[in-house]
Amino acid sequence: MKIGTIDLGERPVFLAPMEDVTDIAFRLMCKRFGADMVYTEFVSSDALIRSVNKTQQKLTVADEERPVAIQIYGKDVASMAEAARICEAAGPDLLDINFGCPVKKVAGKGAGAGMLRNIPLMLEITREVVKAVSIPVTVKTRLGWDADNKIIVDLAEQLQDCGIAALSIHGRTRAQMYTGEADWTLIGEVKNNPRMHIPIIGNGDVTSAEICKQRFEQYGVDAVMIGRGSIGRPWIFREVKHYLSTGELLPDEAFSWYLDILKKQVLQSVERLDERRGILHIRRHLAATPLFKGIADFKQTRVAMLRAETVEELFNILDSIPGKFDI
Ligand SMILES: Cc1cc2nc3c(=O)[nH]c(=O)nc-3n(C[C@H](O)[C@H](O)[C@H](O)COP(=O)(O)O)c2cc1C
């Protein structure tokens, strides 16, 4: 499948944009394991224009991670167009607009998923951003604001008419935040709408190779996007890609293989930030990783692992964990 002129191959699998998660180190890691496209964390258009340092840093992309999308959000037409131009100058392969973020500080102010309550403004922003840059523009959004307003089937057509090159849909409403189960039926309806011709990327609750394959087969989406399923588990892309191409599940690696990946993530995080902030950043991955599930009496070790303050302390704890796959 293609987005604009970017060829992403057959049944591509993407790393979803995630704030405080998809920094450059994690994107490169996921890329190494087979992610076909990666997204930056979302970037505030207002902060970009004010040239806030931390925000500018989020625009750094590396050649090894291509194709890579920078994602922006905001609620003002002129700032979004201006931010789009600033992002384009940073050299991503495409630009993605976030109309899906449900958190209060974003949606409550009318940006992100808040735009699902102001469709004329959403469409105007989309048209102006498309006009402002020469790279493909894509949109990521949700099914609608709440259960009574699941407007995605009509909205997808309207967004397509604004000139976007692909649409990612997270199968939840804003009201659901991250609760309940993602509903892929409407994603499938958008995909099967004969008036739609742009690629549709399905997103929500894909946490295994089997689920990913099932989503492609049942809903006919052009690509699948994985978010939380990759946190503390960047190797999920290797499992998924292998299963999609061979129909066979990859056998487990030794426990130490997975642990080495997590340790590498710790080191990269510390190198990129500093020891204290790097460790704080990586705790989310350590807390979420499935690697330690099923290890007997793990609770105390887990608490210690998530409290460790230096790399040495953390690695001593990690190295003391008995590997459940190693005999
Ligand atoms: C910690 C976290 C941060 C997120 N940040 C963003 C973001 O910056 N932009 C965005 O479009 N979605 C963001 N999302 C939503 C994900 O991209 C994705 O749509 C959602 O998690 C559902 O997919 P999943 O079930 O595979 O996680 C975030 C989700 C999480 C859990």
For the Cβ of 203 lying below 6 angstroms from any atom of ligand 1, the answer is yes
Q: What pLDDT is stored for residue 327 in this prediction? A: 52
Q: Whose CA is nearest to atom 23 of ligand 1?
A: 204
Residue 172: phi, psi to the nearest 5? -135, 160
Average pLDDT over residues 111-128: 97
Distance 16 CA to ligand 1 centre (A): 6
Which atom, in ligand 1's list, is nearest to the CA of 96? 11
**CA-to-CA distance for 196 and 206, rounded, in angstroms?**
24
For the Cβ of 21 lying below 6 angstroms from any atom of ligand 1, the answer is yes
pLDDT in tens, 281-320: 999 999 999 999 989 899 999 999 999 999 999 999 999 9
- Residue 41, pLDDT > 90, answer yes
Q: What pLDDT is stored for residue 56 in this prediction? A: 85
Q: Whose CA is nearest to atom 22 of ligand 1?
A: 204
pLDDT in tens, 218-257: 999 999 999 999 999 999 999 999 999 999 999 999 999 9
Provide the percentage of residues in the chain whose pLDDT is more than 70. Answer: 99
Distance 168 CA to ligand 1 centre (A): 12
Residue 53 pLDDT class (50, 70, 90 cuts): confident
For the Cβ of 187 lying below 6 angstroms from any atom of ligand 1, the answer is no
Q: Whose CA is nearest to atom 3 of ligand 1?
A: 18
Distance 326 CA to ligand 1 centre (A): 33
Average pLDDT over residues 191-220: 98
Q: What is the mean pLDDT of the chain?
A: 96
Q: What pLDDT is stored for residue 322 in this prediction? A: 87
For the Cβ of 102 lying below 6 angstroms from any atom of ligand 1, the answer is no
- Residue 8, pLDDT > 90, answer yes
- Residue 123, pLDDT > 70, answer yes
- Give the CA-trace dihedral at 66, 96, 148, 215, to 10 degrees: -20
- Give the CA-trace dihedral at 43, 310, 26, 277, to 10 degrees: 10
Phi/psi region, residue 288 (left: phi>0; alpha: psi -120 to 50; beta: rest), is: alpha
Average pLDDT over residues 47-74: 93
Average pLDDT over residues 13-35: 96
User: Is 212 assigned a catalytic role?
Assistant: no
Which atom, in ligand 1's list, is nearest to the CA of 203? 23
Length of the chain in residues, anyone?
327
- Residue 326, pLDDT > 70, answer no
For the Cβ of 70 lying below 6 angstroms from any atom of ligand 1, the answer is no
Q: Whose CA is nearest to atom 29 of ligand 1?
A: 18
Which amino acid is it at 241?
K
Closest CA to 118 of 174, 164, 165: 174
Q: 48-57, 80-89, 156-165, 184-193: which has the minimum mean pLDDT?
A: 48-57
Distance 21 CA to ligand 1 centre (A): 9
Q: What pLDDT is stored for residue 54 in this prediction? A: 81
Distance 296 CA to ligand 1 centre (A): 31
Sign of CA pseudo-dihedral 273, 288, 229, 181: negative
Residue 323 pLDDT class (50, 70, 90 cuts): confident
Cβ count near 47 (within 10 Å): 17
For the Cβ of 169 lying below 6 angstroms from any atom of ligand 1, the answer is no
Q: Whose CA is nearest to atom 26 of ligand 1?
A: 227
Please identify which of the residues 30, 87, 101, 212 carries the catalytic annotation: 101
Q: What pLDDT is stored for residue 324 in this prediction? A: 73
Residue 223: phi, psi to the nearest 5? -155, 160
Residue 51 pLDDT class (50, 70, 90 cuts): confident
Distance 132 CA to ligand 1 centre (A): 26
For the Cβ of 71 lying below 6 angstroms from any atom of ligand 1, the answer is yes
Average pLDDT over residues 41-68: 92
